Amino acid sequence: MSTKILAIDAATEACSVALLTQEQTVSRFEVIPQQHSQRLLPMVDEVLQEANMTLSDVSAIAFGRGPGSFTGVRIGVGIAQGLAFGANLPMVPVSSLEAMAEGAYREHGAEQVIAAIDARMGEIYTATYQRQDTGEWLCLDPECVMKPEDAEFSLSEATVVGTGFETYQDILMAKGQFMQSDRILLPAALDMVTLAARYFVKGQTVRAEEAEPVYVRDTVTWKKLPGRE
């Protein structure tokens, strides 16, 4: 039986779903802040119907594990987890930042990528990737949250992606010889499903009850408000 992966992501302002089969990849992508919980399940139904499949035909469910919005990550993981429980399917966690690196390769053929998402509160979520001959990504600078002025990247030449480079362009673009992509600003399930297919073949899955978000930032927003440090 061929591998069929359903990917779900809601970690940022974007909400997306993708379905990978041996014959095709079907996807949906919308930038709809605060509407993720309303749109995710209809998107799942749409891609399954377009592929003439049901959830029972799927091999695994991939999910955007973060980093990203606390609420968005929780919604995406929760919905993917619920579907996996109901269909008794394994799950494949995928990094939001690595998905953007994969998107840079898909759009530009980029093999050296720095991804940065605007994390609000004057910070970015960021990681640096080098594509290997196997198609896998080597993470040179691990996922972290930091102020853009404090960022130091292992690569001085790279394709840079994400809303972090859009919001803090003047600060971040001065740190190297970078090509900025205006086509990959947010992670997409279309790229997550490609990564997840590789992970699934290698057995890198978790049970539904083991699926966990990765926030990177370990303090919630209100703790950083004046008087609440």
Tens-place pLDDT, residues 181-229? 999 999 999 999 999 999 999 999 999 999 999 999 865 443 433 443 3
Residues 31 and 139 in one domain: no
Question: Which residues in 71-110 are b (16+ Cβ under 10 Å) and which e?
Answer: ebbbbbbbbbbebbeebebbbbbbbbbbbbbbbbbeeeeb
Residue type, 29: F
Q: Does 90 map to a domain? A: yes
Q: Is residue 91 located within the same domain as residue 101?
A: no
> Is position 18 within any domain?
yes
Residue 70 has pLDDT above 90, yes or no: yes
Residues 89 and 67 in one domain: yes
- Asked if pLDDT for residue 133 goes beyond 60, the answer is yes
Q: Does residue 191 share a domain with residue 87? A: yes
Residue 105, φ and ψ in degrees, nearest 5: -70, -45
Identify the domain containing residue 29 by its residue range.
Answer: 5-95+187-224
User: How many domains are contained in the chain?
Assistant: 2
85 plus 193 within the same structural domain: yes
Least confident of 41-45, 76-80, 132-136, 218-222: 218-222
Q: Would you say residue 122 has pLDDT above 80?
A: yes
Confirm whether 39 is domain-assigned.
yes
> Is residue 42 domain-shared with residue 62, that is, in the same domain?
yes
Is the residue at 10 inside a domain?
yes
- Same domain? For 104 and 175 the reply is yes
Give the tens place of pLDDT for each residue, 155-185. Answer: 999 999 999 999 999 999 999 999 999 999 9
2-16 per-position pLDDT tens digit: 899 999 999 999 999
Same domain assignment for residues 58 and 80: yes
Task: Name 92's Cβ contacts closer than 8 Å, sequence gap at least 6.
Answer: 5, 60, 61, 62, 63, 196, 199, 200, 204, 205, 206
Structure confidence at residue 2 (pLDDT): 84
CATH of the domain at 64: 3.30.420.40
The answer to whether position 229 is within a domain reads: no
Shared-domain flag, residues 106 and 208: no
Q: From start to end of the chain, where are the E strands?
A: 5-9, 14-20, 25-31, 60-66, 91-95, 112-120, 123-131, 137-146, 157-161, 177-180
Residues 59 and 14 placed together within one structural domain of the fold: yes
